[in-house]
């Protein structure tokens, strides 16, 4: 796999700012949080604006959490903005403002899980860690295990396989190359097997590209869900210059029960701060 994958990546890799020679560990960390469940095309302009405004963790740590949410805009899943803000403060308080280089220190940062810790340790610092995102798991499921899709949740067997395949020489390039293959060629719905550098050895293709035989894979609904209501409520609060009266929030959704449930969830998640006399704002306290 290595001999075929690396040359393909050298030719086809996208020119992304968090892969540039002048990338910073903070820029890599920001990109990894933003890219979770969000396409590159939506992330790139927000990433540029973010790192211009807050080029170092200390710059973000000085701000109120609400400013991170406001700058997050419409990327979705705004709790990720709070995670980045909390990580920035921890980096300042515990690491003298420098993003730690080891997986063990990274995973201790608030809101940073196994994938993000491994990705930052690998892509920002060149360490050898298996980086298992959705794209990588799908490529390994097809090319090695002969299945159309990986399990819904990452398994110990997948981790062992990724570790076994990870080269000792330039592991980060291998990781980003297999990730790119999954994003551009070995896609979920319409894999372009003819363009794949692994097509001659892919276990799934050689088995006749069998259909998925596991639990049904359903996309996430949006219209009419609490997520949509939360998004509308957050849009009002992001666009406001100050606290917002309840009547403005009530106007965004007709179903009062669903609207109140969504608002209560935002408050519980720390994304919205209730004030006296029925006003609300983005959070001003610790993330």
Locate 165 and state its tokens: 């395949």
Residue 134, Cβ density class (10 Å: 0-12 exposed, 13-18 middle, ≥19 buried): middle
Cβ-proximal residues to 205 (8 Å cutoff; 6+ apart), any chain: 142, 193, 199
Sign of the dihedral through C-alpha 140, 143, 144, 147: positive
SS3 279: strand
Q: In sequence order, what are the beta bridge partners of 273?
A: 281
The answer to whether the beta carbons of residues 191 and 142 sit under 8 Å apart is yes
Question: Which is catalytic among the residues 32, 56, 180, 273?
Answer: 32
Separation of alpha carbons 281 and 287, rounded Å: 14
94 in catalytic set: no
Parallel/antiparallel/unpaired status of strands 279-281 and 244-245 = antiparallel
**Active-site residue list:** 32
């Amino acid at each position: 796999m290595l001999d075929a994958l690396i040359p393909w990546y050298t030719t086809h890799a996208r020119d992304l700012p968090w892969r540039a020679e002048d990338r910073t560990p903070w820029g890599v960390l920001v990109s990894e949080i933003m890219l979770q469940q969000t396409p590159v095309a939506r992330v790139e302009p927000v990433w540029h604006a973010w790192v211009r405004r807050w080029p170092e963790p200390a710059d973000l740590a000085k701000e109120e959490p609400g400013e991170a949410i406001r700058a997050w805009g419409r990327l979705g899943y705004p709790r990720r903005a709070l995670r980045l803000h909390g990580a920035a403060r921890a980096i300042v308080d515990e690491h003298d403002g420098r993003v730690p280089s080891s997986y063990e220190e990274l995973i201790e940062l608030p809101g940073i899980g196994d994938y993000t810790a491994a990705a930052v340790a690998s892509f920002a610092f060149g360490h050898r860690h298996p980086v298992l995102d959705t794209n990588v798991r799908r490529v390994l499921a097809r090319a090695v295990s002969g299945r159309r899709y990986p399990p819904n949740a990452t398994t110990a067997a997948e981790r062992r396989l990724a570790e076994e395949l990870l080269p000792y020489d330039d592991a980060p390039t291998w990781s980003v190359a297999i990730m790119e293959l999954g994003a551009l060629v070995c896609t979920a719905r319409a894999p372009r097997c003819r363009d794949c550098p692994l097509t001659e050895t892919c276990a799934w293709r050689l088995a006749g590209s069998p259909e998925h035989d596991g639990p049904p894979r359903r996309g996430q609904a949006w219209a009419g869900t609490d997520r949509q209501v939360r998004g509308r409520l957050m849009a009002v609060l992001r666009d406001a210059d100050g606290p917002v009266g309840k009547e403005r929030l009530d106007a965004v959704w007709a179903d009062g029960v669903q609207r109140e449930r969504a608002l209560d969830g935002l408050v519980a998640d720390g994304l919205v701060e209730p004030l006296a006399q029925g006003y609300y704002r983005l959070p001003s306290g610790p993330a």
